[in-house]
Amino acid sequence: INLNSNVKKVVVFMNCRVPASRRYQPTEYEHAANCATHGFWILPSLVGGSVLYFLSGDPWHRVAAWLYGSGLTGLFITSTLFHTAAWKVSHLRSLEQRFHMCDRMAIYFFIAASYSPWLMLRELGPWACHMRWLIWVMACIGSMYVFFFHERYKLVELLAYVAMGAVPALVILSMVERAGVCELAVGGVFYVVGVIFFKSDGLVPFAHAIWHLFVAAGAGIHYYAIWRYLYVSGPPLQTAR
């Protein structure tokens, strides 16, 4: 009897793992956690983006703040909308599918937005400066991939996110000014470790919600680095031309 009771408790917090070709169906508790763990950060991201904007002393800083704030807030909004739809209106498959696609697309633009302040406001080498616009091209290509091949090749999509996050990082390492690189690396570690939980639905209870927390932690560390080293640490650095 006790064994059955323990099994029931596990079932409440986690459903069985499904094949890679199918989407995991969270329990009611997991649905709620998925919504809360990103919904909580919508208002702080709005405030944080606004703080950077009002700290800006020139047009390039304002543009960078707007891009970063929009990407950060957009990520949390689209994620929360999708998980709410998956929880409450999952019977409307076409609506849920659209929200899921928007959620995936927002990740590409969030990655681009996260790098934009560093690429726009720091001095880069002659070839590295092209990454300022190339990263947005990559985000658009990634979004087109989601539009045409959503959920067909999940591993390819995951590798695309990792590659898009890693390639600009190599450019950042070539910067003349290195302040903030340590924080960028630590934030990146949170994202990478979080991927383990992203792929652990059905193995770890609340795995996707834990992934959300790793994303929030990584984003928070990156925000701190942007705020400290690009907006409040003395005179403006070399800006994009």
Domain hosting residue 200, numbered range = 28-231
Question: What confidence tier does 16 reach under pLDDT thresholds 50, 70, 90?
Answer: confident
Characterize 43-74 residue by residue with b for buried, 16 or more Cβ atoms within 10 angstroms of its Cβ, and e for exposed. ebbbebbebbbeebeeebbebbbbbbbbbbbb
Residue 43 has pLDDT above 60, yes or no: yes
Q: Give residue 94's Cα distance to chain centre.
A: 24
Report the share of the chain in percent with pLDDT over 70: 91
* CB distance 218 to 188 below 8 Å: yes
pLDDT at position 125: 72
pLDDT at position 235: 45
Backbone φ and ψ for 44, nearest 5 degrees, come out as -60, -35
Residue 238 has pLDDT above 60, yes or no: no
Q: Is 89 a domain residue?
A: yes
Q: Is 178 a domain residue?
A: yes
Tally of domains within the chain: 1
pLDDT in tens, 162-202: 888 888 887 877 777 888 889 999 999 999 999 999 989 98
Q: Which residue has the higher pLDDT, 224 or 129?
A: 224
Question: What confidence tier does 59 reach under pLDDT thresholds 50, 70, 90?
Answer: very high
Averaged pLDDT for residues 149-154: 81
Q: Is 2 a domain residue?
A: no
Q: Give the lowest-confidence range in 37-46, 96-105, 123-132, 151-160.
A: 123-132
Q: Is 19 a domain residue?
A: no
Residue 97 has pLDDT above 60, yes or no: yes
* Alpha-carbon torsion, ordered 129, 133, 135, 140, to 10 deg: -170
The whole-chain average pLDDT of the chain stands at: 87
Residue 222 annotated as part of some ligand binding site: no
Residue 31 annotated as part of some ligand binding site: no
What are the distances in angstroms from CA 239 to CA 112, 117, 132? 17, 10, 11
Residue 3 has pLDDT above 70, yes or no: no
pLDDT at position 11: 61
Residue 212 annotated as part of some ligand binding site: yes
What is d(CA 191, CA 214) in angstroms, rounded to the nearest whole number? 6
pLDDT at position 29: 94
Q: Is 151 a domain residue?
A: yes
pLDDT in tens, 66-93: 999 999 999 999 999 999 999 988 778 8
